[in-house]
């Protein structure tokens, strides 16, 4: 194994350059080093001006999403040795405006997320002394969708979001389904206006890249397909049944 | 972000059921009439027998359903191919009319052809 690997890093410092450029750095190639360790080495030892987001280093915080050799990846769980002998190209996540270097602007997602009410909606005032019991089977219905860490890799991979930025997007719809399928939740009808709109599930053409790149195996594409069936059967009921029988 | 409900569920239902019905029936029909009968792998039914099978109301209904659903599956898929593949979404009105209108015209033609078998 060679002792070093070249990391080609996408640089954009709006106060210095009007167009993004590439900087190359040689970093130690160690078996246990992820791309994020390489970036930390650059920041600590080679070039302190490099900007990127990271926090937990263990695939839980969802901060360190980047494009590594063209693919959306969490840089903390993508190992340098998998790209030996290199070079490794590190770019910001696609489909987002870049603030600086590898840091992207996620305001669009933050604005869309509350629209799908990703919290438990209850019909009546919650009673503080009551436990809301749930069986393991009921929990299995939504558990997969609750694993989302909002890392945005699915938006970065989604070709529909690239073409139509109004699309609510994979993670937001998966999170809506996480609550829709929760036995304690009564908010499905509230979420329906947004999810069943043209910018909701119907914008998705089931390319499936979101589920391919998801580091937590959430399967947003599956969540969207499931909701399409729910929305379609509700639309047919709305059309055929009198109001009281829906 | 608009929250207007979309008419999409109805065409999506036609699209998805069309995909499933087509995937189930068309390979069988293609194998029988495109490969097995012409190559003599299976004894081919004679014309009079086939004509009586096709003129049965249930066969007509199944074949008509297959044609309609397959055409609407094509319409939906081709519409999105033009929208996203060729990035022609700005012409969505003529594209929609062409695709679903084509499916309606094709369905009418299928009905005429099938009714002639009666």
Q: Which of A69-83, A149-163, A187-201 has the lowest mean pLDDT?
A: A187-201
List the single best residue of B9, B17, B81 to mutate versus A (max A Cβ within 10 A): B9
Of B3, B12, B87, which is closest to A202 when you measure between CB atoms?
B12
A193–B1: do the CB atoms touch at under 8 Å? no
Of B4, B16, B89, which is closest to A197 when you measure between CB atoms?
B4
| pLDDT higher than threshold 80 for residue A245 | no
Provide Rg for chain A, Cα atoms: 21
Confidence (pLDDT) at B33:
92
* Contact call for residues A183 and A138 (beta carbons, < 8 A): yes
Is the CA virtual torsion B72, B78, B84, B87 positive or negative? negative
* Residues in B 50-109 with any Cβ partner in A closer than 8 A: 80, 84, 87, 89
The β-bridge partners of A22 are A10
Q: How many Å apart are CA B9 and CA A123, to the nearest integer?
A: 28
* CA quadruple A175, A178, A184, A188: dihedral, nearest 10: 70
Residues of chain A with Cβ-Cβ distance to B4 below 8 Å are 197-198
- At the second CATH level, the architecture of A107-245 is Orthogonal Bundle (1.10)
For chain B, list the domains and their CATH numbers.
Answer: 9-116 (1.20.1300.10)
A193–B10: do the CB atoms touch at under 8 Å? no
Confidence (pLDDT) at B5:
62
DSSP-derived pairing of the beta strands A21-28 and A103-104: unpaired
Confidence (pLDDT) at B4:
56
Confidence (pLDDT) at B104:
97
| Complex ipTM tops 0.85 | no
* CA quadruple A181, A187, A190, A191: dihedral, nearest 10: -30
CA distance B54 to chain A (A): 32
Query: Quick one: fold of A4-104?
Result: Ubiquitin-like (UB roll) (3.10.20)
Residues of chain A with Cβ-Cβ distance to B11 below 8 Å are none
A197–B9: do the CB atoms touch at under 8 Å? no
Cβ neighbours for A17, distance < 8 A, ≥ 6 positions apart: A11
How far, CA to CA in Å, does A53 sit from each of A14, A61, A101, A155, B70?
A: 17, 10, 10, 17, 48
User: pLDDT class for A246, splitting at 50, 70, 90?
Assistant: low
How far, CA to CA in Å, does A52 sit from each of A36, A37, A93, B102?
A: 9, 12, 11, 51
Q: For chain B, 118 residues long, give each residue's pLDDT as a single digit of tens.
A: 454 566 789 999 999 999 999 999 999 999 999 999 999 999 988 889 988 998 899 999 999 999 999 999 999 999 999 998 898 989 999 999 999 999 999 999 999 999 987 7
List the single best residue of B2, B4, B5, B96 to mutate versus A (max A Cβ within 10 A): B5
**Nearest chain B Cα to A204, which residue?**
B80
* CA quadruple A67, A71, A72, A74: dihedral, nearest 10: -80
* SS3 readout for chain B: CCCCECCHHHHHHHHHHHHHHHHHHHHHHHHHHHHHCCCCCCCCCCHHHHHHHHCCHHHHHHHHHHHHHHHHHHHHHHHHHHHHHCCCHHHHHHHHHHHHHHHHHHHHHHHHHHHHCC
User: pLDDT class for A176, splitting at 50, 70, 90?
Assistant: very high
Whether omega for the bond prior to residue A85 falls within 30 degrees of 0, making it cis, is yes
Cβ neighbours for A218, distance < 8 A, ≥ 6 positions apart: A144, A145, A147, A148, A154, A171, A174, A211
* Contact call for residues A13 and A101 (beta carbons, < 8 A): yes
B9–A168: do the CB atoms touch at under 8 Å? no
B8–A202: do the CB atoms touch at under 8 Å? yes
In this predicted model, what pLDDT tens digit does every residue of A76-112 receive, in sequence order? 999 999 998 889 999 999 999 999 999 999 999 999 9
List the single best residue of B2, B8, B15, B90 to mutate versus A (max A Cβ within 10 A): B8
User: For chain A, what are the domain ranges?
Assistant: 4-104, 107-245
B2–A198: do the CB atoms touch at under 8 Å? yes
A168–B1: do the CB atoms touch at under 8 Å? yes
Mean pLDDT, chain A, rounded, equals 93
In this predicted model, what pLDDT tens digit does every residue of A124-158 receive, in sequence order? 777 778 788 899 999 999 999 999 999 999 999 99
B6–A198: do the CB atoms touch at under 8 Å? yes
List the single best residue of A235, A237, A240, A246 to mutate versus B (max B Cβ within 10 A): A235
In this predicted model, what pLDDT tens digit does every residue of B73-101 receive, in sequence order? 999 999 999 998 898 989 999 999 999 99
CA distance B60 to chain A (A): 26
Confidence (pLDDT) at B96:
94
**Mean per-residue pLDDT for A26-45?**
96
**Nearest chain A Cα to B16, which residue?**
A229
């Amino acid at each position: 194994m060679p002792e070093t690997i070249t990391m080609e890093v996408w640089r954009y410092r709006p106060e210095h350059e009007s167009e993004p450029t590439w900087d190359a750095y040689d970093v130690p190639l160690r078996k246990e080093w992820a791309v994020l360790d390489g970036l930390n080495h650059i920041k600590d030892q080679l070039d302190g001006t490099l900007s990127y987001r990271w926090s937990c280093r263990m695939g839980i915080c969802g901060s360190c999403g980047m494009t590594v050799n063209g693919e959306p990846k969490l840089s903390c769980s993508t190992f340098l040795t998998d790209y030996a002998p290199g070079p490794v190209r590190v770019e910001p996540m696609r489909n987002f405006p870049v603030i600086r270097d590898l840091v992207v602007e996620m305001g669009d997602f933050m604005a869309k997320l509350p629209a799908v009410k990703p919290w438990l909606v209850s019909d009546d005032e919650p009673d503080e002394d009551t436990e809301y019991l749930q069986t393991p089977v009921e929990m299995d219905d939504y558990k997969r969708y609750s694993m989302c860490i909002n890392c945005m890799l699915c938006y970065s991979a989604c070709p529909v979001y690239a073409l139509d930025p109004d699309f609510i997007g994979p993670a937001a719809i998966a999170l809506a389904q996480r609550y829709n399928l929760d036995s304690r939740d009564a908010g499905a009808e509230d979420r329906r206006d947004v999810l069943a709109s043209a910018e909701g599930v119907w914008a998705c053409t089931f390319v499936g890249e979101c589920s391919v790149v998801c580091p937590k195996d959430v399967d947003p594409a599956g969540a969207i397909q499931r909701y399409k069936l729910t929305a379609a059967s509700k639309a047919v009921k709305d059309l055929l049944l009198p109001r009281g029988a829906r | 972000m608009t929250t207007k409900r979309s008419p999409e569920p109805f065409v999506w239902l036609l699209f998805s059921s069309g995909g499933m019905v087509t995937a189930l029936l068309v390979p069988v029909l293609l194998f029988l009439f495109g490969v097995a009968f012409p190559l003599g792998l299976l004894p081919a039914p004679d014309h009079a027998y086939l004509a009586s099978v096709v003129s049965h109301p249930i066969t007509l209904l199944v074949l008509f359903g297959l044609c309609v659903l397959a055409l609407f599956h094509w319409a939906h898929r081709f519409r999105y191919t033009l929208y996203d593949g060729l990035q022609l979404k700005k012409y969505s009105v003529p594209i929609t009319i062409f695709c679903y209108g084509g499916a309606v015209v094709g369905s009418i033609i299928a009905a005429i052809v099938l009714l002639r078998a009666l």
